[in-house]
Amino acid sequence: MLRLRPYKSADAKTILSWVKDEKSFHQWCADRLGNYPPSAETLNAHYEEGAMLPFTAYDESGLVGHFFLRFMNEEKTSIRIGFVIVDSAKRGKGYGKQMIQLALKYAFEFLQAENVSLGVFENNPAAYRCYKAAGFKDLPTTHVCHLLGEDWNCLELDCNRTDWQL
């Protein structure tokens, strides 16, 4: 059974080993962790600022995935999810969808959020499908990020408490 626990700095090396090339590195974290390849120190420094709640997903097979939650407003009712990743050897088995569903449950039930949002690059259909399968809906807003010498369209998705409860 997939479970969540708080991220520990010792998880960084394993999580980063799931990022296999420069394009998938930027699809995962945009430009937030500098240049490829990322170091464990960089990821840990990112979280040491304290603004994010990073999680590690695990089951009997070991570490399975990772993501963070971040409050987007003072009332802490709006949450952003980011750095979503599943072990490269365990993709396509339903873990991503399950992990996002656990993240939504945590955000809505424990953190009492009203809304959870995220951004996903259009050139990342696996991630887009995973979020849609977990209950996210498309927003009309998009923006462009300049990465690897190209313009990447970033789609905005969100999930409201009311939709999630249905």
Ligand X SMILES: CC(C)(COP(=O)(O)OP(=O)(O)OC[C@H]1O[C@@H](n2cnc3c(N)ncnc32)[C@H](O)[C@@H]1OP(=O)(O)O)[C@@H](O)C(=O)NCCC(=O)NCCS
Indicate the residue whose CB is closest to ligand X.
96
Element (H, E) at 63: strand 62-71
Q: What is the DSSP letter of 88?
A: G
Q: Which residues bind ligand X (CB under 6 A)?
A: 24, 27-28, 84-86, 91-97, 120, 124-127, 129-130, 133
Q: How far is the CB of 75 from ligand X (least distance, A)?
A: 25
The residue (of 75 and 92) whose beta carbon lies closer to ligand X is 92
Shortest Å distance, C-beta 36 to ligand X: 13
The distance of closest approach from Cβ of residue 74 to ligand X in the complex, given in angstroms and rounded to an integer, is 26
Cα–Cα distance between 113 and 107 in angstroms, integer? 6
Of the pair 9, 82, the CB lying nearest ligand X is at: 82
CB of 100 closer than 8 Å to CB of 84: yes
Rounded to whole angstroms, how far apart are CA atoms 140 and 130? Answer: 19
